[in-house]
Amino acid sequence: MRGFRDPAAASRLMDAVRATVQGTLRVIEFCGGHTHAIMRYGLRGALAPQVQLLSGPGCPVCVTASADIDQAIALSGRPGITLATFGDMIRVPGTTTSLQGARARGADVRVIYSALDALELARALPQREVVMLGIGFETTAPTIAAALRQAESEGLANFTVYSMHKLTAPAMRAILDAGELAVDAVLGPGHVAAITGWQAWSFLPEEYGVSCAVAGFEPLDILQALLACAEDQARGEPRITNAYGRGVSALGNSTALRLMDEVFMPTDAAWRGLGVIPGSGLAIRPGLARYDARQRFGLPGMAEGPLDAEAAVGCRCGEVLRGVVEPPQCPLFGAACTPAHPVGPCMVSAEGSCAAYYRYRGIMDI
Amino acid sequence: MTENVVLLAHGSGGTLSQELIEQIFVRHMADDVLSGMEDAAIVPLPSEPHGSLALTTDSFVVQPLFFPGGDIGKLSVCGTVNDLAMRGARPLYLTTGYVIEEGFPMADLDRIAASQAATARAAGVRIVAGDTKVVERGSGDGVFINTAGIGLVPDGVRISAGNAQPGDAILLSGAVGDHGLAIMTRREGLEFASPLSSDCAPLNDLVARMLAACTQIHVLRDPTRGGVATALNELAERSGVSMEIAEEAVPVHAPVAAAAELLGLDPLYVANEGKLIAIVPAGEAGALLAAMRAHPLGAEATAIGRVLEGNAGRVVLRTALGTRRLLDRLAGEQLPRIC
Amino acid sequence: MCLAIPVRIMEIREQMARVELDGVERLVSLALTPEAQLGDYVLIHTGYAISVLDEAEAMETLQLFDELEQASREVEEEERSRQEEDTARVEDAKTGLGGPTP
């Protein structure tokens, strides 16, 4: 499996991509994991200027609305509550503080690596209410669903899930629907597709005329996908390509999809910087209300408030994501929106377009 | 000692304090000056007629207290000895202060003090003064240790974070990431075919050999928290230079690389406690590397890059694919990621 | 997003599996991949196997990259010989020893 990092093959693939691109190829990677890999392996600089790689909304953590984080922080401060969260989430700012700030002020916030660890916590702390923050796209949601089912079968009464799960395809549609689009292709999220199947992304060429190559996260995976996008561009024929054959099938993981469907149902969800996107979130089904932290602790279905304010004050994240504007063209960039006080997801993630642009003033490519 | 846990009374200054100090600290440290239990240690100046004194202090709050390859006692000596050595100083004397949480097992305290004493002996430094405080249960996290150290810098040795010169070679004394991952994997439930062990070690002997082999060492730095990437960024900034590092040249042991991958971490940002970065004129690099490799703590020493002019503070990594990218400094705490 | 790592299954105990990557082992849940077998490569994400990797497909892809390498080497060689011809032609033209005039 290490073969997918081979430098010689990577260099050939890069040559092939450059030779195939007509003029400029503009590709948006939906997924923060791709952004990370592209940065880590220096692909952006190596393929510029023929290929322009734009960073997408990033990770499920970055797109969590600050109002939702505020609610999680408030919940963590209640007596008897132990909040279990993935490490990624702990730094992400809400309106006034973050979960690590709440922990410093005395909240019982535990960093876990897996939903299995949250179950273990609930078993070990029977006198406390263990709330697992359900963060993640389609890749993570089935693992939380599996844990919830496990809690049910064990009769673990002190385990609940606070679902903030998000669905990628509705968000991609919302970004594309919102206006002008200046990209030729989308790098499809490989590990989301491992669950959903690559066919879930065929709407991109079919409905939007944009190529989509579902890609893995090794350099050769990404380059192979970019080559497919370049070939589509050369032919003038947008297609869906599965460039992650070893991990992704057409229809995905049926066990995971079934489990996700049994536990969750689609709901509207608020995305940081993008606003409310219909059907882009997952709520726990009414039949499992006793495992639903929103039900158990009387939290509103979808956080309200600061999110609308964010959208209103002029965050142009959506346009950055569509490749229509560069980060500095946003009126908030560098003033109201900085890595320390981010407004949109492109600034929250260290690898987001705006954060990277802010740190390197556009000279990410050396 | 009758109690098998530390009581608040052990910090009261009375009989129990006396007993704790004598039966644990004085016994393990076995140092004439410390045993005198005076208000201040009086120690002789070293015989060298010239030189400057180097002073440093550091506090240690590691969890878990015992980890593969070390414990907080060993770490508290290595950290301070290494800080002295990174200025070219020969460490002479240490002081140590313990803040112990009420209820801490006496047996664990004994193990920690024994390990601290053994590490100091191995490093050739004396622990000549100490202090013990006990805090109420819940006000501490087992044991916190502070150490301070004094060392002697020979005349003519000018080692500083601000001394890197364009054209210099950047050397690294061995593989990175062992310490941080040995500690983190204890918390994350990873298991190893051959257990991962912290590299925690006093580097003063290695540095002495290096100084004997090369009088032109510009910079020494131990890449602890934030790892090699953060250390290089600090050095580039302080020296007003840029640097280029070859990713493939940086040694990483296979299980460390695998554990880092599983946890979503980059070994270049993971803490080390027994490694150093040396920056020297390129012409001296060969001789210095040979001297480092002749020492057990430098057996895997290698050149990882060079210092360049301009673009002050910028560190560029040449990746295994031959591409280049900025090597940024660590933003926050290194945590396992899912994204 | 969604960090997932390929590992090999060393042992299966009911719904849990011991998986290995370069001498590092951990226990993961097979709740989402009940079809996984001993010796399979799986992608693991937050302590769960989310996909059984198709090893044959992986080998095939790597094979394709090799072929691409072959092909591009051939193209390169072709280009080089064409360039050499061009250079020769230019030289010829310069020295006036025949060949097509520009």
**In terms of domains, do C9 and C47 share one?**
yes
Return d(Cα A108, Cα A88) in angstroms, integer. 17
**In terms of domains, do B269 and B175 share one?**
yes
Return d(Cα A262, Cα A289) in angstroms, integer. 13
User: Residue C63: inside a domain, yes or no?
Assistant: yes
Q: Is C79 on the interface with A (CB under 8 A)?
A: no
Chain B interface mutation, best of A6, A41, A63, A99, highest count of B Cβ atoms under 10 Å = A41
CATH of the domain at B121: 3.30.1330.10
CB contact under 8 A, A117 and C47: yes
**In terms of domains, do B198 and B288 share one?**
yes
| Structural domain containing residue C81 | 54-94
The structural domain count of chain B equals: 2
Q: Is C41 on the interface with A (CB under 8 A)?
A: yes
Return d(Cα B286, Cα B120) in angstroms, integer. 31
User: Residue B335: inside a domain, yes or no?
Assistant: no
Return d(Cα B313, Cα B100) in angstroms, integer. 41
Return d(Cα A146, Cα A140) in angstroms, integer. 10
Q: Does residue B203 contact residue B68 with C-beta atoms inside 8 Å?
A: no
Q: Closest by alpha carbon to A32, among A11, A12, A62, A6?
A: A62
Please compute the mean of the pLDDT values over residues A134-156 and round it to a whole number.
Answer: 96
Strand-pair partners of C30? none
One DSSP character per residue, A235-275 reads: HT---EEEE-TTT--SS--HHHHHHHHHHEEEEEEEETTTE
Q: Is C60 on the interface with A (CB under 8 A)?
A: yes
Contacts of A253 in chain C (CB under 8 A): 32-33, 50-51
Quick check: A366 pLDDT over 60?
no
Return d(Cα B74, Cα A203) in angstroms, integer. 60
Q: pLDDT per residue over A194-226, tens digit each?
A: 999 999 999 999 999 999 999 999 999 999 999
One DSSP character per residue, A150-211 reads: HHHHHT-TTEEEEE--B-HHHHHHHHHHTS----SEEEEEHHHHHHH-GGGGTHHHHHH--E
User: Residue B304: inside a domain, yes or no?
Assistant: yes
Single residue among B124, B153, B182 that ends a domain in this structure? B153
The segment(s) of chain A belonging to CATH 3.40.50.11740 are: 66-165+253-310
**In terms of domains, do B75 and B118 share one?**
yes
**In terms of domains, do B100 and B45 share one?**
yes
CB contact under 8 A, A192 and C50: no
Return d(Cα A236, Cα A184) in angstroms, integer. 10
Contacts of B336 in chain A (CB under 8 A): 86-87, 111, 113
Quick check: A306 pLDDT over 50?
no
| Structural domain containing residue B27 | 8-153
Q: Closest by alpha carbon to A319, among A274, A269, A362?
A: A274
CB contact under 8 A, A86 and B188: no
Contacts of C41 in chain A (CB under 8 A): 1
* pTM: predicted TM-score of the whole model, two decimal places: 0.87
* CB interface of A with C, residues 100-159, below 8 Å: 113-117, 136-137, 139-140, 142-143, 146, 149-150
Q: List, in order, residues 6 or more apart from B6 with CB less than 8 Å away.
A: B20, B100, B101, B102, B103, B104, B105, B106, B109, B134
Return d(Cα B296, Cα C49) in angstroms, integer. 41
Return d(Cα A69, Cα A65) in angstroms, integer. 7
**In terms of domains, do C49 and C59 share one?**
no
User: Residue C34: inside a domain, yes or no?
Assistant: yes
Single residue among B100, B122, B153 that ends a domain in this structure? B153
Q: pLDDT per residue over C36-88, tens digit each?
A: 999 999 999 999 999 999 999 899 888 888 877 676 666 666 666 766 665 55
**CATH assignment of A2-60+168-243, among 3.40.120.10, 3.40.50.880, 3.40.50.11750, 3.40.50.1010:** 3.40.50.11750
**In terms of domains, do C40 and C73 share one?**
no
Q: Closest by alpha carbon to A293, among A123, A158, A108, A119?
A: A158
**In terms of domains, do C64 and C49 share one?**
no
Q: pLDDT per residue over A102-126, tens digit each?
A: 999 999 999 998 999 999 999 999 9
User: Residue B33: inside a domain, yes or no?
Assistant: yes
**In terms of domains, do B243 and B173 share one?**
yes
User: Residue B161: inside a domain, yes or no?
Assistant: no
- Return the partners of chain C (3 or more C-beta pairs < 8 Å): A, B
**In terms of domains, do C17 and C35 share one?**
yes
Q: Closest by alpha carbon to A161, among A88, A194, A92, A112?
A: A112
**In terms of domains, do B114 and B178 share one?**
no
The pLDDT value recorded for residue B180 is 92
User: Residue C42: inside a domain, yes or no?
Assistant: yes
The pLDDT value recorded for residue A299 is 86
The pLDDT value recorded for residue A313 is 65
The pLDDT value recorded for residue C95 is 40
One DSSP character per residue, B17-76 reads: HHHHIIIIIIHHH--HHHHT--SS---PPPS-SS-EEEEEEEEE--SSSEETTEEHHHHH
CB contact under 8 A, A139 and C32: no
Q: Closest by alpha carbon to B271, among B300, B302, B230?
A: B230
The structural domain count of chain C equals: 2
A129 three-class SS:
strand
**In terms of domains, do B295 and B175 share one?**
yes
Phi and psi, residue A218, nearest 5°: -90, 160
Q: Closest by alpha carbon to A112, among A139, A140, A93?
A: A140
pLDDT grade for A304, boundaries at 50, 70 and 90: low
The pLDDT value recorded for residue A323 is 74
Residue B257 φ/ψ region, left for φ over 0, alpha for ψ in the -120 to 50 degree band, beta for the rest: alpha
The two tokens of residue A108 are: 């019982």
Place of tokens 């290995």: C20
CB contact under 8 A, C33 and A253: yes
The segment(s) of chain A belonging to CATH 3.40.50.11750 are: 2-60+168-243
Hey, what CATH class is A66-165+253-310 in?
Answer: alpha beta
User: Residue B338: inside a domain, yes or no?
Assistant: no
Which positions of chain B have pLDDT values less than 70? 1-2, 49, 187-190, 193-194, 330-336, 339
The pLDDT value recorded for residue A307 is 47
Q: Which residues of B touch A (CB under 8 A)?
A: 188-189, 263, 266, 316-317, 319-326, 328, 331-332, 335-339
CB contact under 8 A, A87 and B325: no
The pLDDT value recorded for residue A352 is 74
**In terms of domains, do B134 and B203 share one?**
no
pLDDT grade for A312, boundaries at 50, 70 and 90: very low
CB contact under 8 A, A46 and B336: no
Q: What is the ipTM of this complex?
A: 0.89
Q: State what percent of residues in chain A have pLDDT above 70.
A: 94
CB contact under 8 A, B189 and C26: yes
B302 versus C3: the higher-pLDDT residue is B302
Residue C4 to chain B, least CA–CA distance (Å) = 8
The pLDDT value recorded for residue A341 is 77
Quick check: A175 pLDDT over 90?
no
One DSSP character per residue, B207-260 reads: HHHHHHH-TT--EEE---TTHHHHHHHHHHHHHT-EEEEEGGGS---HHHHHHH
Label the pairing between strands A185-189 and B66-67. Answer: unpaired
Q: Cα–Cα distances in Å, from A82 out to A61, A110, A151, A163, A292?
A: 20, 7, 16, 16, 15
Q: Is C9 on the interface with A (CB under 8 A)?
A: no
User: Residue B1: inside a domain, yes or no?
Assistant: no
Q: Is C67 on the interface with A (CB under 8 A)?
A: no
CATH of the domain at C44: 2.30.30.140
- Return the partners of chain A (3 or more C-beta pairs < 8 Å): B, C
Q: Does residue B260 contact residue B266 with C-beta atoms inside 8 Å?
A: yes
Q: List, in order, residues 6 or more apart from C79 with CB less than 8 Å away.
A: none
A214 three-class SS:
strand
Q: List, in order, residues 6 or more apart from B25 with CB less than 8 Å away.
A: B34, B113, B130, B132
Q: pLDDT per residue over B71-87, tens digit each?
A: 999 999 999 999 999 99
Quick check: C92 pLDDT over 70?
no
CB contact under 8 A, B339 and C3: yes
Give chain B's largest Cα–Cα span.
67
C-beta atoms surrounding A128 within 10 Å: 15
- B275 DSSP assignment: -
Residue B313 to chain A, least CA–CA distance (Å) = 12
C-beta atoms surrounding A147 within 10 Å: 29
User: Residue B333: inside a domain, yes or no?
Assistant: no
User: Residue C76: inside a domain, yes or no?
Assistant: yes
CB contact under 8 A, B188 and A113: yes
CB contact under 8 A, C2 and B339: yes
Q: List, in order, residues 6 or more apart from A215 with CB less than 8 Å away.
A: A34, A187, A188, A190, A221, A222, A224, A225, A243, A244
**In terms of domains, do B147 and B99 share one?**
yes
Q: Is C24 on the interface with A (CB under 8 A)?
A: no
Return d(Cα B310, Cα A13) in angstroms, integer. 33
The pLDDT value recorded for residue C96 is 37
Return d(Cα B96, Cα B80) in angstroms, integer. 10
Return d(Cα A270, Cα A278) in angstroms, integer. 9
User: Residue B175: inside a domain, yes or no?
Assistant: yes
pLDDT grade for C97, boundaries at 50, 70 and 90: very low
User: Residue C101: inside a domain, yes or no?
Assistant: no
